[in-house]
Amino acid sequence: MLSSKSGFKGIWFILPAVLTLLVLITYPLIYGAYISFFDTNLITKWNFEGFRYYKEIFSNTEFLSRIILTLHYTVWVVAGHFVIGLGLSLILNMKLKGITVFRVILILPWLFPEVVVGLLWKWLFNPLYGLFNSVLMGWGIIDDPVSWLGDEKTAFVAVIVVSIWKGFPMVMMLILAGLQSISEDVYEAAKIDGCNRNKAFRFVTLPALMPVLLVTIILDTVWWFKHFTMIWILTQGGPGNATNVVSIDIFKQAFEFFNFGKASAMAILVFFVCWLMGYGYRRLLGNGDD
């Protein structure tokens, strides 16, 4: 049993972490919720509005349509990350010559800043001098330049492609770390029991990876559900509302319309949507501890 002196020392050890969490996470959350009850410019005007902004949000379908569009975007991006990430991690887990070089190359998209990635792909999609139009016209696939980011039919797909390219390395590396933590002895035992490669993947690899997959899918889903930077650089939510996901809408409410109260109310609702998604994943894929 710890003495009172040892317990007092322990408090000093955890105090920096507690203060950091309070300052960087708890305080912004509480302050954001506080702002959502006011019509404010954050300086001189603080008119209490109660639940007015929440009632406005739920009284029309505009916010719901943004949430549905964001879920649509998130589902495609996360699915792309897991298909590409799982496939590449299985290849990178093989004992092949020079595999370390490919590991370094494949993680490069994740290392680039999001601003750089957004500007790079904006140049590639440019209808006048972009690489894609030049290549596709050279191959005879299209006759005229396509405005990939300026057309409602292609802008949403283009944003999804860029987001998948940017985010798959993180999923790939997390799954690869999970694969490398599985002991070879387990595979040997499965082989002795008559498991072929497919059965070993189904009955050994997938169950052993499940904790890693659960954490990865929660992190990836929440991250891309509230993603802002690259979509803003590529399309700023346009054309029309084709890529106007909820994070873009919150930014416009706050910094274009200076409606900080409504923007805060929308952000609080997004927080609960993200929490619900994490809870749902744990219930579906977890071990039932919830």
61-83 CB burial, b ≥16 within 10 A, e <16: eebeebbebbbebbebbbebbbe
Q: Which position has the token pair 């952000």?
A: 267
How much is the pLDDT for 104?
A: 87
At residue 45, the pLDDT reads 87
Inside any domain, residue 7? no
In a domain, 28, yes or no: no
Residue 197 lies in a domain: yes
Q: Would you say residue 205 lies in a domain?
A: yes
**Domain-located, residue 163:** yes
φ/ψ of 101, rounded to 5, equals -60, -45
| pLDDT, the chain, mean | 90
What pLDDT is stored for residue 288 in this prediction? Answer: 52
Is the whole-model pTM more than 0.85? yes
The total number of structural domains in the chain stands at 1
Domain range for residue 96? 49-287
Domain assignment present for 98: yes
DSSP result, the chain: ---HHHHHHHHHHHHHHHHHHIIIIIHHHHHHHHHTTEEE-SSS-EEE-TTHHHHHHHHSSHHHHHHHHHHHHHHHHHHHHHHHHHHHHHHHTS--TTHHHHHHHHTHHHHS-HHHHHHHHHHHT-TTT-HHHHHHHHTTS-SS---TTTSHHHHHHHHHHHHHHHHHHHHHHHHHHHHHTS-HHHHHHHHHTT--HHHHIIIIIHHHHHHHHHHHHHHHHHHHHT--HHHHHHTTT-STTTT--HHHHHHHHHHTS--HHHHHHHHHHHHHHHHHHHHHHHHHHS-S--
Query: Which CATH number belongs to the domain containing residue 152 in this structure?
Result: 1.10.3720.10
With contact defined as beta carbons under 8 Å apart, do 120 and 131 qualify?
Answer: no
Other beta carbons within 10 Å of 11: 9
Task: Tell whether 15 is covered by a domain.
Answer: no
In tens digits, what is the pLDDT along the chain, a chain of 290 residues? 556 666 677 788 888 899 999 999 899 999 999 999 999 988 888 999 999 999 999 998 899 999 999 999 999 999 999 999 999 999 998 888 888 888 888 889 999 999 999 999 999 999 888 999 999 999 998 888 999 999 988 999 999 999 999 999 999 999 999 999 988 888 888 888 888 888 888 888 998 999 899 999 999 999 999 999 999 999 999 898 899 999 999 999 999 999 999 999 999 999 999 999 988 888 887 655 55
Which pLDDT value is given to residue 282? 82
Query: Which residues lie below 8 Å from residue 195, measured CB to CB, with a gap of 6+?
Result: 203, 204
The pLDDT of residue 276 is 92
57 inside domain: yes
With tokens 């007092």, the residue in question is 8
Question: Which pLDDT score is estimated for 195?
Answer: 83
What gap in Å lies between CA 173 and CA 114, rounded to an integer?
18
